Amino acid sequence: MPFEMVVGLLVVDQEKYARYRAEMTPLLEAAGGRFRYDFEVARTLKGEAAHEINRVFVIQFPDRASKERFFADSRYVEIRARLFDTSVEGRATIAEYTR
């Protein structure tokens, strides 16, 4: 059964974040994952995160184990350190669930 996450981000460098997504997406797809939804958000009206959220997405994997393998993949970890960690100031997992 597919495993999904709803994630909210505070992206502070849009160009670098776009490069992150371009580089990590082939790895995500090879792992059987995909983005189901992806939104740029103008403002946060209510939230529990300690930061604003300007990007929200739903990411799907074949199952939870696939998600864990993807995020542990050394190629992904390198891309994340180089591009995500320097372009995103805040991250909130809004929900995780099996569909």
Q: Above 90 in pLDDT, residue 50?
A: no
Annotate 25-80 with DSSP letters as a single string.
HHHHHHTT-EEEEEEE-S--SS-SSSS---EEEEEEESSHHHHHHHHH-HHHHHHI
Taking the model in full, what pTM does it have?
0.92
Q: CA 33 from chain center: how many Å?
A: 11
**Given a cut of 90, is residue 44 above it in pLDDT?**
no
pLDDT score, position 42: 86
Residue 66 has pLDDT above 90, yes or no: yes
Average pLDDT, the chain: 96
| Range 48-53 average pLDDT | 90
